[in-house]
Amino acid sequence: MVITDLLRRNAKLYGDEVSLVEIAPQMMEKTKLTWKEYALIQPNPEQSGRLELTWAEFDKKANRFANLLLSRGLKKGDKVAILLMNCLEWLPIYFGILKAGCLAVPMNYRFDAKEIQYCLNLSEADVLIFGPEFIGRVEEVCDKLPKVSQIFYVGQNCPTFSEHYDTIVNYCSSQDPMIPLTQDDYGAIYFSSGTTGFPKAILHKHESLIHSCEVEQNHHGQTRDDIFLCIPPLYHTGAKMHWFGSLLAGSKAVLLKGIKPEWIIKTVSEEQCSIVWLLVPWAQDILDAIDRKEINLEEYDLSKWRLMHIGAQPVPPSLIKRWMSVFPNHQYDTNYGLSESIGPGCVHLGVENIHKVGAIGKAGYGWEIKVVDENGVPVKQGDVGELAVKGPGVMTCYYNDEKSTKEVLKDGWLHTGDMAMQDEDGFIYLVDRKKDVIISGGENLYPVQIEDFLRKHDAIKDVAVIGLPDKRLGEIAAAIIEVKEGASLSEDEVNAFCSDIPKYKRPKKIIFAEVPRNATGKIEKPKLREIYCGESLVSAQLKN
């Protein structure tokens, strides 16, 4: 079985049922009506703020795009890049690419023009499909893409350098082209987050895609009754692979185009969502909004919400303890993964292990894990080493980058670059990124440990710890601290708070500033090093 078979099955068995809902709360923010009530009174469905798609419509849209690609001469193994914000068209386009036998190449919506050009050329994309938010960036590079032969545009007011997707695709057949595929065929190229320089192109087979469906459902038990709220960007493996559990179960998902706490809670209530995947900042914002009385939980029906899970970054234990005090009936889970391991789930806490909050968990369904030294030899239990994972979801390679591939793939094991330790019960704890470890006076400092401690302070919203050059110690730890709205905090207060940790771990420099995070919630430490150390992203890439 390949992942497109699941869409065919759902269209056949549940064709008239809703598969996807898109909610754009910006269009409805000032109304006191529910999302559904507002949508019903709007004469133009495209402006209603709430759109639906059945499984049958989903499948037909995918078939039409597949047939469009095939009619334009694309063949099995060609590559189609997607540069779209989350929208109702995103997933049908993705599956249309797969149904044509092509490779889907999702792209980060934060890419600037140079990064778009770089990634399209690196992946050898044949086609680009993009949305209105990217007109300027694509126009800037469209004549610098020697391999890209066709450009399609999704939205109104199509620019002259591209073809209008909506106009063309509706004339294509909705019959399934039934291109033969196996799990050994290539299915997608994803890009690394680029936190250490320009992104790498990550090649995956269909085996990885179908395995991620099985992993997600095994971990979170999706049934046809569940409704998944998806907020993070679909270009990223995390959001899409969590949705793959809904695909396997044949259950509905809601795409929310916004991250305001009140929008999230309102959507959970009105759409009766049962599973919500959040990033750390969004969970913090929800709790802060509740504390400030901006959200009154008694005004919402959250009775169906059974699971909140977090991934994509280290999760402060203090945040989860705070969350469970507000939502005591929730199951909680965290999932660890990389785009190189087809997203979340290669390490998995498990809803039954709430007593181990702070750990990322044990090996996920179908996965193996180990913690190794610089020679690949497993370290003693309790010692810090590099986390390595092995399973059906490991990438084939970094596309067109044999050197980088050999650095991380060794005897089938993916060396993650994350430093970790394993406790006496076999649970894995992340210590830090290998490249982010600070060596100060011969001591290894792990920024995540210091960050987790500082986040316990009531006035701290977010924190990032980086190493700054020091003539005597080599490096010192600097804490960039983002203070909660309405709170105040001084350097002396931070230093006094840190008296409870060993002296060598205490930050030697305190900086009050915003903590930058990328679209998947990861702290952008190269950007911080560039700001505070004068270290450019290019030199950071070379060093790493």
User: Percent of the chain at pLDDT above 70?
Assistant: 94
Region 462-479 average pLDDT = 85
DSSP labels for 157-198? Answer: S--TTSEEHHHHHTTS--S-------TTSEEEEEE---TTSS
**CA-CA distance, 506 to 509, in Å (whole number)?**
9
Which of the four pLDDT bands, split at 50, 70 and 90, describes residue 236?
confident
The candidate with the shortest Cα–Cα distance to 347, out of 428, 418, 276, is 428
Please indicate, yes or no, if residue 459 is contained in any of the structural domains.
yes
Which domain CATH number covers 504? 3.30.300.30
Specify the 3-state DSSP secondary structure of 540. helix
Which of the four pLDDT bands, split at 50, 70 and 90, describes residue 136?
very high
Q: Residue 530: give the domain boundaries.
A: 437-543
Here the tokens at position 101 are 């036998």
Which of the four pLDDT bands, split at 50, 70 and 90, describes residue 534?
low
**CA-CA distance, 269 to 289, in Å (whole number)?**
16
Say if residues 273 and 145 touch (Cβ distance below 8 Å): no
What was the pLDDT predicted at 290?
Answer: 96
Greater pLDDT, 43 or 448: 448
Please indicate, yes or no, if residue 483 is contained in any of the structural domains.
yes
If phi > 0 it is left, if psi is from -120 to 50 it is alpha, else beta; for residue 179 that is: beta
What was the pLDDT predicted at 441?
Answer: 66
Q: How many CA atoms lie within 13 A of 259 on its CB side?
A: 16
In this predicted structure, the answer to whether residue 11 has a pLDDT above a threshold of 80 is yes
Say if residues 232 and 255 touch (Cβ distance below 8 Å): no
Please indicate, yes or no, if residue 455 is contained in any of the structural domains.
yes
**CA-CA distance, 55 to 146, in Å (whole number)?**
37
Say if residues 475 and 504 touch (Cβ distance below 8 Å): no
Greater pLDDT, 235 or 470: 235
Region of poorest pLDDT, from 154-158, 216-220, 516-520: 516-520
Query: Which secondary structure element, helix H or strand E, spans residue 482, and what is its range?
Result: strand 474-483
25-61 tens-digit pLDDT = 987 777 778 888 888 887 776 777 899 999 999 999 9
Please indicate, yes or no, if residue 495 is contained in any of the structural domains.
yes
Instruction: State the Cα angle at 42 between 41 and 47, rounded to 5°.
Output: 150
Q: Are strands 368-372 and 409-410 parallel, antiparallel or unpaired?
A: unpaired
Q: How many domains does the chain have?
A: 1
What was the pLDDT predicted at 133?
Answer: 96
Q: What is the mean pLDDT of the chain?
A: 91
The candidate with the shortest Cα–Cα distance to 264, out of 506, 533, 23, is 23
Region 146-170 average pLDDT = 96
Region of poorest pLDDT, from 109-118, 134-143, 321-330: 109-118
In this predicted structure, the answer to whether residue 472 has a pLDDT above a threshold of 90 is no
Q: Are strands 397-398 and 163-164 parallel, antiparallel or unpaired?
A: unpaired
Which of the four pLDDT bands, split at 50, 70 and 90, describes residue 520?
low
Query: Which secondary structure element, helix H or strand E, spans residue 389, and what is its range?
Result: strand 385-390
Please indicate, yes or no, if residue 476 is contained in any of the structural domains.
yes
**CA-CA distance, 285 to 241, in Å (whole number)?**
24
Please indicate, yes or no, if residue 469 is contained in any of the structural domains.
yes
Q: What is the pTM of this model?
A: 0.84
Between the alpha carbon of residue 241 and those of residues 216, 233, 270, 343, 472, the distances in Å are 7, 11, 24, 6, 47
What was the pLDDT predicted at 196?
Answer: 45
In this predicted structure, the answer to whether residue 542 has a pLDDT above a threshold of 70 is no
Which of the four pLDDT bands, split at 50, 70 and 90, describes residue 438?
confident
Give the length of the chain. 544
Query: Which secondary structure element, helix H or strand E, spans residue 249, and what is its range?
Result: helix 237-249
The candidate with the shortest Cα–Cα distance to 319, out of 446, 453, 178, 210, is 453
What was the pLDDT predicted at 275?
Answer: 98
Specify the 3-state DSSP secondary structure of 405. helix
Between the alpha carbon of residue 466 and those of residues 279, 401, 463, 481, the distances in Å are 21, 29, 10, 11
Please indicate, yes or no, if residue 297 is contained in any of the structural domains.
no
Phi, psi for 524 (deg, rounded to 5):
-90, 75
User: Percent of the chain at pLDDT above 90?
Assistant: 71
Please indicate, yes or no, if residue 479 is contained in any of the structural domains.
yes
Helices and strands counted in the chain (H then E): 17, 27
Here the tokens at position 176 are 């399934």
Which of the four pLDDT bands, split at 50, 70 and 90, describes residue 333?
very high
Per-residue buried b or exposed e for 343-374, using 16+ beta carbons within 10 Å of the residue's own CB: bbbbbbbbbebeebbbbbbbbbebbebbbbee
Here the tokens at position 357 are 């909050």
What was the pLDDT predicted at 544?
Answer: 34
Here the tokens at position 502 are 């060993």
Between the alpha carbon of residue 172 and those of residues 161, 168, 176, 225, the distances in Å are 22, 7, 11, 34
Region 438-444 average pLDDT = 73
C-alpha distance across the termini of the chain, in Å: 39
301-320 tens-digit pLDDT = 999 999 999 875 667 788 89
Region of poorest pLDDT, from 138-147, 309-318, 373-382: 309-318
Here the tokens at position 337 are 């993964």
If phi > 0 it is left, if psi is from -120 to 50 it is alpha, else beta; for residue 272 that is: left
Q: Which residues contact 187 (CB under 8 A, 6 or more apart)?
A: 2, 3, 98, 103, 104, 204, 205, 206, 208, 209
Specify the 3-state DSSP secondary structure of 532. helix
**CA-CA distance, 522 to 505, in Å (whole number)?**
22
In this predicted structure, the answer to whether residue 543 has a pLDDT above a threshold of 50 is no
Specify the 3-state DSSP secondary structure of 502. coil
What was the pLDDT predicted at 538?
Answer: 31
Here the tokens at position 153 are 């545009």
186-233 tens-digit pLDDT = 999 999 865 445 789 999 999 999 999 999 999 999 999 999 999 999
In this predicted structure, the answer to whether residue 541 has a pLDDT above a threshold of 50 is no
What was the pLDDT predicted at 448?
Answer: 82
